[in-house]
Amino acid sequence: MCAGLLLMISAILGMLVYMSHSMFSTGRYLKHLEYEVCYVRNFTDVDDKIIARAKQLGEDPLSLSRRYCEEFHKDMTFLRCLPPSVEPRVSDHMPQIISMIIQILENGCAYIVDGDVYFSVDKSPEYGRLSGRKSEDNRAGERVAVDSRKKNPADFALWKSSKEGETYWDSPWGPGRPGWHIECSAMSAAYLGYSFDIHGGGMDLVFPHHENEIAQSCAACSSSNISYWLHNGFVTIDSEKMSKSLGNFFTIRQVIELYHPLALRLFLIGTHYRSPINYSDLQLESASDRIYYIYQTLQDCVDFLKQQNIELQEKTIPGDILNCINKFQNDFVSAMSNDLHTSDVLAALYDPMRIINDLLNTRKGKKQALRAESIAALEKSIKHVLTILGLMPSSYSEVSISPFLAPCILSFG
């Protein structure tokens, strides 16, 4: 196939569990389909909340951002997330951001007020096409108070003039910094162009963030287009969104002090990415037990096959076993190709795992013809799928010793 595929996702600065699990297996699956994937994950390292937090701590905002970015990378390594092809940061892309704002102004879709630059929503006739919101439902950006200087309350800032003591960059409109939305459009255009395949993020970004991205990108370039939007559901606690503001959250680091990182990964992909997923100790314990069962079974396969002398060929695999493998592989492709239904893939593991355990442990299974060949073929098929899901450790034994392993035991080499 070898077609190119371009992805974009924004990373929040913080280690909350409700990270975008829509991208947990997307890259690996697309590469499995032989696409050449360019995956861009950008960091917002300059915004109001970062500046306010840095002021509280008496720290430089960019230094604070760098520290959290490094911690984010550690968490992604624990969870076996593939690194992006490129990882731009707002602070490194001011020329591109300013250039895009100039283009939007020249196209008559923005206006300047006292050093601030606002996007004019009235100049975007299709505004609301992603979220389905009507113009009368729109208000000013949810992160900021209504500014009476705006022509329309729904207009949003492309550039903000600096306040005393804040980090700033020079611009044609005076010292300041970019608004929240423009940075993502500018960085995606810089690395992927104005038209690309997939844009991901949390469902809370549909409006206003992604809606505003579409509007400003189209204002800068009329041919701008994104083929697919992936929006993941929230991790909830007692059906309430997990968030810093509510104080009802756990960090990834806190969770993997109690559960193996691959148990957390299994838990997160055990629900379709668009659906909410309720966090609980019971759910994590269940995922931990399940990951232990999977790897212990596969380790038993390896131990058994070491004692055998077989040359695995398709013609040596019994028909019923081959049918099981083919069904499992077909179910895998069908589920993943249908909007990344990773939960269905995990459910499809049941039959091949059950058959392996029968062949290894039951009296009837031990008497089956071509038993070793059947076990080897099933183990190979399961390993293939687990690898694409990012659930394949360097060795089964590292995660099959105990269902509750400290994260430092697992090697990610």
What is the Cα–Cα distance from 391 to 388, expressed in whole angstroms? 8
Kindly report the three-state secondary structure assignment for every residue of 195-253.
EEEEEEEEHHHHHHHHHHHHHHHHHHCCCCEEEEEEEECCEEECCEECCCCCCCCCEHH
| Residue pair 201/169 in contact by the 8 Å Cβ criterion | no
Instruction: Identify the CA nearest to 137 among candidates 154, 120, 157.
Output: 154
Peptide bond into 83 cis (omega under 30): no
**pLDDT at residue number 234:** 86
pLDDT tens string 111-144 = 999 999 999 999 999 999 999 988 766 654 444 4
Residues of the chain with CATH 1.10.730.10: 258-398
What is the Cα–Cα distance from 337 to 334, expressed in whole angstroms? 5
| Residue pair 106/96 in contact by the 8 Å Cβ criterion | no
Low-confidence ranges of the chain (pLDDT < 50): 1-2, 10-20, 140-144, 401-413
Domain 12-254 has CATH 3.40.50.10360: no
**pLDDT at residue number 400:** 56
**pLDDT at residue number 238:** 73
**pLDDT at residue number 7:** 62
Q: According to CATH, what is the number of the domain 258-398? A: 1.10.730.10
pLDDT tens string 221-274 = 999 999 999 999 988 887 777 877 777 788 889 999 999 999 999 999 999 999
Instruction: List Cβ neighbours of 248 (8 Å cut-off, separation of 6 or more).
Output: 237, 240, 242
Q: What does each C-alpha distance from 282 to 258, 259, 260, 288, 375 come to in angstroms?
A: 12, 12, 14, 10, 32
Which tokens go with 142? 């949810």
How many CB atoms within 10 Å of residue 90?
Answer: 25
**pLDDT at residue number 134:** 80
**pLDDT at residue number 217:** 98
**pLDDT at residue number 4:** 53
Residues of the chain with CATH 3.40.50.620: 12-254
What is the Cα–Cα distance from 218 to 214, expressed in whole angstroms? 6
SS3 category, 2: coil
